[in-house]
Structure 1
Amino acid sequence: MNSIKLQIPSLVENIRIVESFIDNAKDKYEWDDDIYGNIMIAVTEAVNNAIKHGNRSDKSKMVHLQLDLAENKIQFQVEDEGKGFNYVSLPDPTAPENLEKPGGRGIFLMKHLCDEVSFSKEGRAVSLTFYFN
């Protein structure tokens, strides 16, 4: 398995670094455009959540990103240095009472773009898995 790691301070503008990281991996590993689009949206959403919600935009706290490449899958691990959260009882963003709310769609979006999404470390880490056809 091939592994690449990236660590960024918790500043929203550092999402650009993550986008470049994903672009470089796409070129290096020749990902299809469809999987690339899903990866870009899901991973930047996870990093954004880690910066804003996990580390509360505290630039002294880091967001850790790891890409693991296997023969049939790509897996990203995004971890923050925050307190974690209860990922089991998330409100459904498609429920009528939540449709007007500005937030709460990130994890929902990730679950639709990835083949597998799993949380660990009390919600401080999320694993996003994409399988190749």
Structure 2
Amino acid sequence: MINQIENPDITSVYTLQLASTTNSITLLENFIDELSIKFGFSDLLYANVLTCLSEAVVNGIVHGNRQSPEKKVYINLEVIKEEQLVFTITDEGDGFNLNSLPNSAATENLTGRGVFLINKLADQCIFNSKGNELELHFKI
């Protein structure tokens, strides 16, 4: 379910709260599908948003919240003048040190590849200092 909040400085604000279970990925996909229809995402934008948010939410569920169903992953979206999407994904975990991730380009390392993909596909990617919140920017 998408909650829309009106803000005169921003075109639209949407929020989504997900339980830390893998079943929540379906709700995330539905959320992205609704946004894509509402804002007319190109195929490339749709694929990039879907990939980045899926990776971020799965990381929040599995690594951040340790699949504890009582903990939530929060997604906020600000649509700025229908030109830019700014997603903020937050989990209730302890966070992580971005600099401690191994080199994801090395074939022996599977850890960190989701973060690598997110950095490549989003127009801008900002982690908070604690490592439990990620801000993703996409141009519409």
TM-score by length of 1: 0.92
Structure 2 unmatched runs, 5+:
1-9
Q: Choose between structure 1 and 2: higher helix proportion.
A: 1
- What's the % identity of the aligned pairs? 36
- Write the mapping of 1:40-59 to structure 2, written as runs, cut at 5 A: 40-59=50-69
Count residues with an aligned counterpart.
Answer: 129
**2: CA distance between counterparts of 1:91 and 1:101?**
7
CA RMSD of the aligned region, Å?
Answer: 1.2
1:130 is aligned to 2:138:
yes
**2: CA distance, partners of 1:91 / 1:103:** 7
Is residue 75 of structure 1 aligned with residue 86 of structure 2?
yes
User: Counterpart of 2:125?
Assistant: 117
Secondary structure of the 1:84 match is coil
Within 5 Å, give how 1:13-92 maps onto structure 2: 13-71=23-81, 72-92=83-103
Find runs of 4+ consecutive structure 1 residues off by over 4 angstroms.
none
- TM-score after normalising by structure 2: 0.87
Once the two structures are superposed, residues 108-132 of structure 1 have per-residue CA deviations (whole angstroms, 9 ceiling, x without a partner) of: 0000110111011501100111123
Provide structure 1 residue ranges, at least 5 long, that are not aligned to the other structure. none
Q: Give the deviation of 1:28 after TM superposition.
A: 0.7
Q: Which has the higher strand share?
A: 2
Select the structure with the greater relative contact order (CA < 8 A; seq sep ≥ 6).
1
